[in-house]
Structure 1
Amino acid sequence: MTNPTTAYKVLTAEQMATLEHDGRFAGAPVDLEDGYIHLSTAAQLTETVDKHFAGKSDLYVAAVDLEALGDKILWEESRGGQMFPHLYGTLTLDVVVAYSALDRDDEGKVRLPVTG
């Protein structure tokens, strides 16, 4: 199975504003602590939100073009042995292909931002 070409970053409203205004985002506190920016695949996104952002509102989901990041992305084992995309570098607005406020469908799954 090949890795997907798009991954997702969950951002607070403040973090999203920084990305929009500055064109770059160095990472959330957990990212800075771990040394990389945590991303999730579409299949991992809802579990990530439920586990790490429970009870939080005012969240955004940014769709990130992994191919544009090239070797800055490493797939590494994390939660439950799953392989997650980790960005070793800064997230820049030019590799974000879409973003939207976090929303869920009728089944509770996080909706993906609509890409062009």
Structure 2
Amino acid sequence: MIYIESEHKIQTDIMLALSKNGFTVFRSNAGKIRTESGQTIMLFPRGTPDLCGFVHKTGQMFFIEVKKENGRLRPDQIKFAKFIAQFPVIYGVARSPEEALMIVQQGLNRTEDVR
């Protein structure tokens, strides 16, 4: 049987790798949550990538969408990718810590996963 890591595990590994290599990274929760008092709080808009952060040396923002090996972007994620491609920020879909590091270290704006 072949073991495929969960997106959560990949995301945690990516956050650790980016942090260890001098980048500040945050988990960006999207959607809405309901508080214990019944209030609804809007988080990031749906489609916002799983991780965001910045490069210390340049201050450049990055966005990383985390997917497992066979994961595909949802329509709202594709919409975000197409929108962000017009700006000078770092963006990419990563399936491993190594891939995320390559995207951020090379300052890429990779939208080849966008169909």
TM-score range, shorter chain: under 0.3
Indicate the structure with greater strand content: 1
Query: Which structure exhibits the higher relative contact order, with contacts defined as CA atoms closer than 8 Å and separated by 6 or more residues?
Result: 1
Please report the TM-score for the alignment, with normalisation by the length of structure 1. 0.26
Higher helix share: 1
TM-score (norm 2): 0.27
Please identify the structure whose Cα radius of gyration is greater. 2
